[in-house]
Structure 1
Amino acid sequence: MDFAPLVEKRRSRLSELEAAMGEPDFFDDQRKATEMTREHTRIKELLSMWDEQTEVQKQIAENRELLSEDDPEIVEMAEMEIPELEKRLEQLESNIQYSLLPRDPTEDRDAIFEIRAGTGGDEASLFAGDLLRMYQRHAETRGWKFETLESAPSDVGGFKEVTVKISGEEVFRYLKYESGVHRVQRVPNTETQGRIHTSTATVAVMPEAEDVDVQLKPEDLRIEVCRAGGAGGQHVNRTESAVQVFHLPTGVMVRCEDGRSQTKNKEKALMILRSKLLERQQQEQAAEYSEKRRNLIGSGGREEKIRTYNFPQNRITDHRIGLTVYNLDQVLEGQINELTENLQAAEIADRLEELEANA
């Protein structure tokens, strides 16, 4: 597919945006101004990648010409540079393709992660803790902020349930593929006969909702203040700092008690509630996606088995794209980029196919 016409359309759009951003009343509508500023940034990044792609293609062609030179040092240098240039070109092409696709407005958002122990008792709660640490380490490597919003630790050191917020650049774009049922196969520490047990944990990844996405009407909410019941020290246990928020039309309930401040717990509960309600909206809209894309990013993800972590073989398999790699130890240390890149490539291919079909 020739992307040049699409890039030129973006170039024309950039001129329109720059003209609008120069108007004195540009910031009168803050929401519109923010959206246009983000679009302006994305188009400039796209055009920069397009120019770099042209330059890299030129360098590859020049190096291939040098392979016919008589000087062995020049030939050797060209042979060494070509693989690196080809790798960069492949990366640029993938990023350009993604940038040209219709934009999901939530991809720039921070993400709310909800991890729950599934089947498997104590072992499931330990695995939920493993996943939590995996995402925390991944966030650290990318320079993202990791914040625990609510947690219910298990007696064995894992988590029955934990909710976190990951903040940074395009967090939801890269982590949306993590929604689903994660299955682990390993020998628990308590297993005396060396038998492999299978347990699960569920992960729901939600884009952080903004006020414009979900409007919470006071009459639709029932907010209750109560004494915190979990760990947190004497201060938490002797003050009514826990907050429960019920959304009456949907029956969704959120409870926050990790913080010492009732006000902070209320803010966190409302933030999680908005994201849960936005997730419900997206699930309803998921029927509009192609079957293939729905399999990749799910429809909320709480019931779909997406990945198996096999400890004895150091193997991890993503069932959505049939990808198996043997670096489970590295993945659990937060190195999930290979999985993400392959899932993203599959989604890009599917969406490009849709784009061509509708062109």
Structure 2
Amino acid sequence: MEDRLREARQRYDDVSAQLSDPAIHADPKRLRDLSREHSQLAQIVEASARLDKAQEDLAGARALLAESEGDLEMAAMARAEIEQLTADVERLEGELKRLLVPRDPLDDRDAVVEIRAGTGGDEAALFAGDLFRMYQRYADRRGWKTELVSVSEGTAGGYKEAVFNVRGANAFGDLRWESGVHRVQRVPATEAQGRIHTSAATVAVLPEAEEVDVQINPADLKIDVYRSSGPGGQSVNTTDSAVRITHLPTGLVVTCQDEKSQHKNKDKAMGVLRSRLLDARIAEQEAERARDRRLQVGTGDRSAKIRTYNFPQSRVTDHRIGFTTHALPQVLDGDLEELLEALKMASESERAA
């Protein structure tokens, strides 16, 4: 850990010096990348300073205990302080160790979230709608912005498919663990016999790709425009503003009709397409690593059942790490902090090992 910390401090000084160079500000991408790295390194430097201070205070408390022979009150105070500071040092060492685990450079990216109803018909679409609202409320809690790209509504409510962008600090890094199959067990509103049904929806969380990440040949694209349908105001069914882009080499299809402007819909659809292509490349790399060592978290396997939402027991269980909470209503209301923190800790422990 000492070597990594020394390297991080040196890199922090180097990046700080580069950011003070006016020439860097003429290159927006370089400036953005350095600013992101500086923010990450600053967390390490600040955690290291807090640890140094706690260790210094602990040494002082131990010296005070050694000098308090015969003064029972002072000795008791010193022992209490030693106990508290020892716990603080252990906590700060753990925090610093986690910060020193090499970060995925994509973690700071904005995210593209795609939710699709799976098995279960109308009930699956209703559950996909529940997940959509859950992520929107979590984003609101974090102060992130969500931007709808496209939706396809279910016949009984909910969504067959919903695609939206999440913009905010560390959006992809926090939401990436949500990719996979989410299963719900509950009595559907249409069930007359009161029987519990099991339905599912799939979630894919992609890092928002920048143009430099993925180069797309315009000749590889088939672009169709058509009239919007569904909710959207006066422009629906009046102008050819909706856009469908097909990437011919891969067969990927992206549609967007949320904006009134055809140009804006095309830009949004291209953004999602770039993210899907980048995600496919990442998935190949993750599959290669997984062949050597199967990780519980972060394998990128979208077909894996990752979580169950059991309504009769008010239970949410994440199967990758064996995490269970009986606060299902709060989770569906966007209270995901405890669950996502547990997943993040498990992933960091694996990577550190």
- TM-score where L is the length of structure 1: 0.87
Q: Which amino acid aligns with 1:297?
A: G
1:19 CA drift (Å): 3.4
Residue equivalent to 1:284: 284
**Does the C-alpha gap of structure 1 residues 340 and 87 become closer, same or farther in structure 2, counting only changes over 3 Å?**
farther
Q: How many matched pairs?
A: 345
Residue equivalent to 1:111: 111
**Distance across 2 between alignment mates of 1:14 and 1:146:** 32
**Distance across 2 between alignment mates of 1:240 and 1:39:** 43
1:62 CA drift (Å): 7.2
**Does the C-alpha gap of structure 1 residues 87 and 306 become closer, same or farther in structure 2, counting only changes over 3 Å?**
farther
Identity of aligned residues (%): 48
Coordinate RMSD, CA, aligned: 2.7
Following superposition of structure 1 onto structure 2, how do residues 1-359 of structure 1 map, counting pairs within 5 Å? 3-57=1-55, 82=84, 86=87, 90=91, 92-290=92-290, 294-299=295-300, 301-353=301-353
Contact 2:287 2:299 in 1 (8 A): no
**Distance across 2 between alignment mates of 1:351 and 1:256:** 37
1:282-337 residue CA offsets vs partner (Å, 9 max, x unmatched): 111112434666441232x4311100111111111111112222111211111111
Q: Which runs of 5+ in 1 are unaligned?
A: 354-359
**Does the C-alpha gap of structure 1 residues 265 and 187 become closer, same or farther in structure 2, counting only changes over 3 Å?**
same
**Does the C-alpha gap of structure 1 residues 115 and 104 become closer, same or farther in structure 2, counting only changes over 3 Å?**
same
**Does the C-alpha gap of structure 1 residues 317 and 263 become closer, same or farther in structure 2, counting only changes over 3 Å?**
same
Q: Which amino acid aligns with 2:297?
A: L
Q: Which amino acid aligns with 1:289?
A: R
Contact 2:296 2:321 in 1 (8 A): no
1:115-138 residue CA offsets vs partner (Å, 9 max, x unmatched): 011100111111111111111111
Contact 1:63 1:82 in 2 (8 A): no
Contact 1:307 1:319 in 2 (8 A): yes
**Distance across 2 between alignment mates of 1:171 and 1:204:** 14
**Does the C-alpha gap of structure 1 residues 60 and 200 become closer, same or farther in structure 2, counting only changes over 3 Å?**
farther
1:224-268 residue CA offsets vs partner (Å, 9 max, x unmatched): 111113333442111111101111111111011122111111111
Say which SS state the counterpart of residue 313 (structure 1) adopts: coil
Say which SS state the counterpart of residue 297 (structure 1) adopts: coil
**Does the C-alpha gap of structure 1 residues 86 and 263 become closer, same or farther in structure 2, counting only changes over 3 Å?**
farther
**Distance across 2 between alignment mates of 1:220 and 1:351:** 38
Contact 1:151 1:163 in 2 (8 A): yes
**Distance across 1 between alignment mates of 2:26 and 2:258:** 38
Q: Which runs of 5+ in 2 are unaligned?
A: none
Contact 1:122 1:154 in 2 (8 A): yes
Say which SS state the counterpart of residue 165 (structure 1) adopts: strand
Contact 1:94 1:345 in 2 (8 A): no
**Does the C-alpha gap of structure 1 residues 52 and 193 become closer, same or farther in structure 2, counting only changes over 3 Å?**
same
Q: Which amino acid aligns with 2:346?
A: A
**Distance across 2 between alignment mates of 1:22 and 1:217:** 37
**Distance across 2 between alignment mates of 1:94 and 1:237:** 57
1:24 CA drift (Å): 4.6
1:4 CA drift (Å): 2.2
**Does the C-alpha gap of structure 1 residues 148 and 293 become closer, same or farther in structure 2, counting only changes over 3 Å?**
farther
Contact 2:108 2:170 in 1 (8 A): yes
Contact 1:111 1:207 in 2 (8 A): yes
1:70 CA drift (Å): 5.1
